[in-house]
Amino acid sequence: MLVVIDDKRSNLDQYRETFFALGVPVHSWRYTREDGNVAAFDPDASHALWLTLRPALETLQDQLGPDNYALPPATVRPGCP
Give pLDDT, residue 64. 78
Largest Cα separation within the chain, whole Å, is 50
Give yes or no: residues 73 and 60 share one domain. yes
Looking at the whole model, is its pTM more than 0.75?
no
Give yes or no: residues 53 and 81 share one domain. yes
Note down pLDDT in tens along the chain; length 81 residues. Answer: 999 999 999 999 999 999 999 999 999 999 999 999 989 999 999 999 999 999 998 888 888 776 665 666 666 566 665
Give yes or no: residues 61 and 81 share one domain. yes
Give yes or no: residues 23 and 51 share one domain. no
SS (H, E, C) the chain: CEEEEECCHHHHHHHHHHHHHCCCCEEEEECCCCHHHHHHCCHHHHHHHHHHHHHHHHHHHHHHCCCCCCCCCCCCCCCCC
How many domains does the chain divide into? 2
Domain span including residue 8: 1-40
Give yes or no: residues 50 and 79 share one domain. yes
Separation between Cα atoms, residue 21 and residue 15, nearest integer Å: 10
Give yes or no: residues 53 and 77 share one domain. yes
